């Protein structure tokens, strides 16, 4: 109630400025939040794509390492040069594919997986070099030399360490995935907030239109009709909104003053007209009295003259 009373005491300009300022504030807030949400959505989309690519790289490297191990077993089990060459070529091809995946993978490494990826890369390079040497020994020396180089505890330790590296980097990506899910939820909540702000702005637009109609448009229409009646000379016109403290109230009070001035002018004109009629009546009365006086004097003078004439005649 106090807020409404305070608002009603504001001038029309202040009311309009307040409404427009509120609209501008809401629009700026919605624009800023929309821009932030859009940028975050773009970043999240990029993060999701990178996370998917990284997870796919883990699976690719795992499958390629498994393929290399299978080709290595083929080398171990072969005794003839031709099968050794065949399995060796397959192993080297998978080695090249592993390094191609690792090279592309490095381009999408971020700060959270940089340390684990660095360790993994060194380990995978060690694995690849180890397998290259296995093929070289099996082809250039003998299948037995290749088996002796590769089929041992040291090689299995490297393979086990490589699996641990892949598991560690997979945990990093799992944690990244959880963060992405949380950020996605935050963006969803922000989208809900933006929707609510949009609804609020529409509601405020409606309220603003209603306030403008009720506080400005309708009173001005009534004031315009009142001015027309006063200008046409209508008597005792009730001027509305004189109690308002804004421009409409000032206009209504000005109309009321104008109406009172016109009423005084009418009374003065009526009084002047009455006095003029009285003066005319007095003038006519005086003129009539004068005529009657002149007639009486004339009669007296005629009687005196007649008497004087009679007296002269009698004396003669």
pLDDT given at position 122? 92
Are 288 and 167 part of one and the same domain?
no
- Identify whether 208 is part of a domain: yes
Are 186 and 256 part of one and the same domain?
no
Are 262 and 165 part of one and the same domain?
no
pLDDT given at position 96? 95
Are 173 and 310 part of one and the same domain?
no
The two three-digit tokens of residue 38, written as one number = 């859009």
Are 155 and 6 part of one and the same domain?
yes
Are 77 and 118 part of one and the same domain?
yes
Using CB atoms within 10 Å of the CB of residue 145, give its burial: 0 to 12 exposed, 13 to 18 middle, 19+ buried: middle
Total of domains in the chain: 2
- Identify whether 126 is part of a domain: yes
- Identify whether 290 is part of a domain: yes
Rg of the chain over Cα atoms, rounded to whole angstroms, equals: 57
Are 32 and 180 part of one and the same domain?
yes
Range of the domain at 154: 2-214
Are 131 and 248 part of one and the same domain?
no
> Does residue 132 sit in helix, strand or coil?
helix
Of 169, 184, 214, the last residue of a domain is 214
pLDDT given at position 244? 80
pLDDT in single tens digits along all 316 residues of the chain: 455 555 556 677 777 788 788 888 888 888 888 888 888 888 888 888 888 898 899 999 999 999 999 999 899 888 888 999 999 999 999 999 999 999 999 999 988 889 999 999 999 999 999 999 999 999 999 888 888 888 788 888 888 888 899 899 989 888 888 888 898 888 889 888 888 888 888 888 888 888 888 877 888 888 888 888 887 777 778 888 888 877 788 888 888 888 888 778 877 877 777 777 777 777 777 777 667 767 767 776 676 666 666 666 666 5
Are 240 and 201 part of one and the same domain?
no
CB hemisphere CA count around 186 (13 angstroms): 13
- Identify whether 109 is part of a domain: yes
pLDDT given at position 95? 95
- Identify whether 304 is part of a domain: yes
Of 153, 184, 214, the last residue of a domain is 214
Mutual angle of helices 247-315 and 218-231, in 10-degree steps: 10
Are 206 and 113 part of one and the same domain?
yes
Mutual angle of helices 143-150 and 114-140, in 10-degree steps: 160
pTM, entire model: 0.59
Are 163 and 259 part of one and the same domain?
no
- Identify whether 28 is part of a domain: yes
Of 152, 184, 214, the last residue of a domain is 214
Are 109 and 249 part of one and the same domain?
no
Q: How far apart are alpha carbons 171 and 207 in whole angstroms?
A: 53
End-to-end alpha-carbon separation of the chain, Å?
117
CATH number at residue 64: 1.20.120.1730
């Amino acid at each position: 109630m106090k807020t409404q009373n305070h608002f009603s005491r504001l001038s029309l300009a202040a009311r309009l400025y307040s409404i427009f300022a509120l609209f501008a504030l809401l629009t700026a807030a919605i624009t800023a939040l929309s821009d932030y949400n859009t940028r975050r959505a773009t970043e999240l989309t990029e993060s999701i794509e990178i996370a998917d690519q990284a997870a796919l790289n883990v699976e690719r490297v795992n499958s390629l390492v498994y393929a290399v191990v299978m080709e290595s077993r083929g080398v171990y089990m072969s005794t003839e040069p031709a099968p050794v060459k065949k399995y060796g070529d397959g192993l080297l091809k998978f080695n090249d594919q592993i390094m191609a995946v690792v090279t592309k993978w490095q381009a999408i490494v971020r700060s959270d997986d940089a340390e684990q990826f660095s360790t993994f890369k060194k380990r995978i390079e060690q694995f690849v070099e180890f397998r290259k040497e296995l093929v070289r020994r099996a082809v250039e020396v003998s299948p037995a030399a290749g088996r002796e180089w590769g089929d041992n505890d040291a090689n299995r330790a490297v393979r086990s360490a490589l699996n641990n590296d892949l598991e560690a980097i997979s945990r990093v990506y799992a944690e990244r995935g959880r963060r992405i899910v949380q950020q996605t939820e935050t963006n969803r909540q922000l989208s809900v907030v933006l929707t609510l702000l949009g609804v609020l702005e529409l509601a405020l637009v409606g309220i603003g239109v209603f306030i403008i109609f009720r506080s400005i448009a309708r009173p001005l229409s009534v004031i315009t009709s009142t001015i027309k009646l006063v200008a046409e000379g209508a008597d005792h016109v009730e001027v509305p909104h004189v109690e308002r403290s804004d421009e409409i109230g000032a206009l209504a009070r000005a109309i009321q003053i104008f109406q009172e001035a016109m009423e005084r002018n009418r009374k003065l004109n009526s009084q002047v007209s009455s006095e003029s009629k009285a003066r005319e009546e007095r003038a006519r009365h005086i003129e009539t009295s004068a005529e009657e006086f002149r007639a009486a004097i004339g009669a007296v003078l005629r009687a005196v003259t007649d008497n004087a004439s009679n007296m002269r005649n009698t004396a003669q």
